A and B are shown apart, each in its own frame.
Chain A
Amino acid sequence: MTENLLEQLEKEVGNCINCGFCETVCPTLDPSGFSLWKGARGRVIMGRTLLEDKKNGIPVPVLSDSFYSCLDCHACLYVCPAGVNAGKVSQLSRELITTSSDRRNENPYARMIVEVTAKYGNPLGVKERSADWAEGIGFDKNADYLLYTGNMFQLMPYTKNLNSARKSMGKALSNFMASRVANHPSLIRLLSRMRDRKMEQKNFETLRNIVKLLRISGIRFSYLGEKEPYPGTFIYDLGYIEKFSKYANYVHSVLKGSGAKKIITVDPHTYDLLKNTFPKFIANFDLEILYYLDLINIPTIQDRKEKVVYHEPCHFVLRDPKYSRPFQVLSSTADTALAKRSGNRSRCCGGPDELTFPELSEKASQIRYDELKSTGADLIITACPICNVNLSKENITMEIADYLAARLPS
């Protein structure tokens, strides 16, 4: 396993010629104060250091912040003349770190999230509340489609408050706390009492709006309710691949158990993970993975007075630049612009670093927010709960489901 990882890492870093193109689009370089090890080229260089030390049997220095701070947006890939993906270097390096017996490089928050997910099927141990949004909604039974929320909208109110607590604690205490929880996952129950109730209500409303949009479009679907597991995104992103493999098979068995053939996801992270990553870990994966906007059919608004700007989620546009369904749907209801950096030059909202590097995440989100706002649009429209939270600086940011639902004919 490790040898294979080393080979993959060698292949990736060996193609790099140090031209530095990647760091010009890397969304973490500027927010880190331009310290190169938190930029794309720096990560490739650190990956080379890790590789050489591993190959030579030298103890690896504490360098993991370089890789854990990567947002996995993959913007670097699109500008690299040699096809190097610095995001993949980070991913492989994290895998190497998590499979090492030397724990000094492990991120305490990463370990906390993984251990809690393994125990509760949810990174913050709040699975039993994940279906509260659906109270009073009757879902179909044995439908071809299964609505799979992946818990992302439900988790955001907790992560927001967890971060506030983290900031007030300071890094050392916060890391100590995360290590304690990693060792005793049940402690998460104390932390997860804190949630932003206003955001929770807003996100519940978004999920209900998604249901409304699907129903108006004539889609019949079931929902697993409290039994719905978290998809395992963090476990994969943080490099715990063996654990992810086991966990993904568990999630897959739950999804298959529903009898549905088609899975409707509601956020780009879950969509990307199920569509592009699960098939690599699950034999004969035959579920069709959709994003809910693929299925909706709502009337076009002819007189589009409102000017909006759409922030493209990395896990759509930087995984498959041709995937433009949210933009198409939005364009049919509003005068829709894109930020100066869009398409395969799109800039991440900084969200994935929210738990591991909150300050960096905040600065990255401010840069993106300013770019979006500078278009002069009335509203910033997101299609991802993480983007939505990170880009909600003022009262002009709206999730696409809420925007569309509010404009449906009464």
Chain B
Amino acid sequence: MVYTDALREILGKNVIFDPVEKTPYLSDASAFTGKEPIAVALPESVDEIRKLLAFCDSNKIFVVPRGGGTSLTGASIPLENFIVLSMAKFNRILNISPADRYVVAEPGVRLDDLNEKLSEINFFYPPDPASSMAATVGGSISTNAGGLRASMYGTTKEWVLGLEVVLPDGSVITTGGKVLKRSAGYDLTALFIGAEGTLGVITKAFLKIWPKPEATGRILAYYDSIEKIGLAIRNIKASGITPLIAEFLDRITMDSLRKAKGMAFPETASYMLILDVASTELSISDDLERTASMLRDLQPIELSITRDPEEMARIYEARKGAYSSLLKVRTSSNQRVIIGDVVVPASELPAALKEVAAKAEELGIMVALFGHISDGNIHANIFAEPGDKESMSKEEEFQVYLGKVALQHGGSVSAEHGIGIEKKELLLDQERFTSSEMSIDIMRKIKHAFDPNDIMNRGKIFD
């Protein structure tokens, strides 16, 4: 069916129909490839979105909102009979109020751009997924993104005060707002966090901001086992220190960073720990030393401390690019790296990792492990060949096993990447594991309340 004239009337020049020009919208950062959308809309105003959604609602056209296109689970790709709704032009920071601790931003603002602006007044917005250079405010809310600093500041859900949302029938609601507390019935804002665009289109976000830590320092420590890192983190947290970030990387990941970024690591190290401490100028040295001392108790192969901003930025960027860097250690050019994302209670992480590594060995597949050790978040990166049936079958078996390990240790099948297309089955497994199958029905009913014709990102999270 052709909707060209109607869409042109609503969107003017802000719409793409050319099949070739639409090609990049078939993919995001996941391994999935979507179907050619009817059109790609690039609206400039809320009014255009209102009209577009009302039109799609009337004509049963499905809509996938797209932010930075960094989803790792296929949440932002179009399926059959879809329109892609790119929020790229909603990229303004509207208001910053340090006194009231909020910023109002449009959903297309990239997280690094937001933080660059906030840093001018010495504030920041803490959620920092590794994709923060490309990830947007809207996308990160829609997946409840976490990141490195979640160790200290939690995930996105802790930092969203309110939203302006266009609903599928074209109406506009504001949930929450500029205030730091609110007790006024159901928390509708929370429903949109992690909803992956299945309920409506976020057009404005009220986000909590925070003063930047006065002083930070970084410890790099290398160990021969993950248990030692796990124990060290437990000791550090028990002593009252909450790391600003605490990242672990395995040997394969270190080797990929050596190849991609020219970084050097001790040859005998099996695991690396990157741990940041936030403090005041007066006490940062003492805090770093106190933390380092607890790390030294576990006999690291090597340990160093830096406060050099350039060096810290280099390591931070390298860690954030670790996933992409893994391609440097592929054993075949047909291989892709498919990232897994599960979470367990932090103290369970070493045991969970051991099980995961054993499964990889049993299946004979290469898996690189890194993640956020302070909050128990494991990223297991599987090297698989999409064109090879056996390889993909092992990848799937491994992903299912990874989810099972997470559940058995009291965690979740998704920590910070969402469900998308990839984890729909795993979500069902999770609800079954906790005898909460009804949760999916409740989710469906909530979706129906917002989106009775089921046009918003249909086929994501659940069927």
Contacts and interface: CB of A to CB of B under 8 A. Distances in A.
Chains A and B come from one and the same complex: yes
Interface of A: 10-11, 14-15, 17-21, 23-24, 33-37, 39, 41-42, 45-46, 49, 61-63, 79-83
Given A46-B23, A63-B20, A19 B88 contact: no
Interface stretch (B273-281, B325-333, B454-462): B325-333
B324 interface: yes
B325 A81 contact: yes
Contacts of B24: 36-37, 39, 41-42, 45-46
Scoring B69, B110, B323, B324 by chain A CB atoms within 10 A of each residue's CB, the highest score goes to: B324
Q: Tell me the dominant secondary structure on chain A's binding face.
A: loop
5 contacts: A19-B324, A36-B69, A63-B23, A82-B324, A83-B328
Contacts of B112: 24
Contacts of B323: 17, 19, 81
A62 B70 CA distance: 27
A199 to B, nearest CB: 32
B320 to A, nearest CB: 7
B89 interface: yes
A85 to B, nearest CB: 13
B88 A34 contact: yes
Interface in B1-40: 13-14, 16, 19-21, 23-25, 27-30, 40
Scoring B28, B86, B88, B318 by chain A CB atoms within 10 A of each residue's CB, the highest score goes to: B88
Contact of A81 (B27, B30, B42, B324): B324
Given A63-B20, A81-B324, 18 more contacts: A10-B333, A11-B333, A14-B327, A14-B333, A17-B337, A18-B28, A19-B134, A19-B323, A20-B69, A20-B131, A24-B110, A34-B42, A37-B20, A45-B23, A45-B24, A45-B27, A81-B261, A82-B321
Interface of B: 13-14, 16, 19-21, 23-25, 27-30, 40, 42, 68-70, 86, 88-89, 110, 112, 131, 133-134, 260-261, 318, 320-325, 327-328, 333, 336-337
B260 A20 contact: no
Contacts of B28: 18
Contacts of A21: 131, 133-134, 321, 324
A336 to B, nearest CB: 21
Given A19-B131, A21-B134, A34 B89 contact: yes
A62 to B, nearest CB: 6
B248 to A, nearest CB: 18
A19 B133 CA distance: 9
A82 B133 contact: no
Nearest to A11: B333
Contacts of A39: 24
Contacts of A20: 29, 68-70, 131, 134
A82 B21 contact: no
Contacts of A63: 20, 23
B110 A81 contact: no
A374 B20 CA distance: 37
Contacts of A79: 133
Given A20-B29, A24-B133, A62 B327 contact: no
Contacts of B23: 37, 42, 45-46, 49, 63
A81 B318 CA distance: 7
Nearest to B66: A36
A82 B336 CA distance: 13
A35 B21 contact: yes
B134 A33 contact: no
A62 B21 CA distance: 10
Contacts of B261: 81
Given A14-B333, A21-B134, A24-B134, A82 B327 contact: yes
Nearest to B133: A21
Contacts of B40: 35
Contacts of A18: 27-30, 69
B29 A82 contact: no
B260 A17 contact: no
A7 to B, nearest CB: 10
A241 to B, nearest CB: 24
A36 B324 CA distance: 20
Contacts of B134: 19-21, 23-24
A63 B21 CA distance: 8
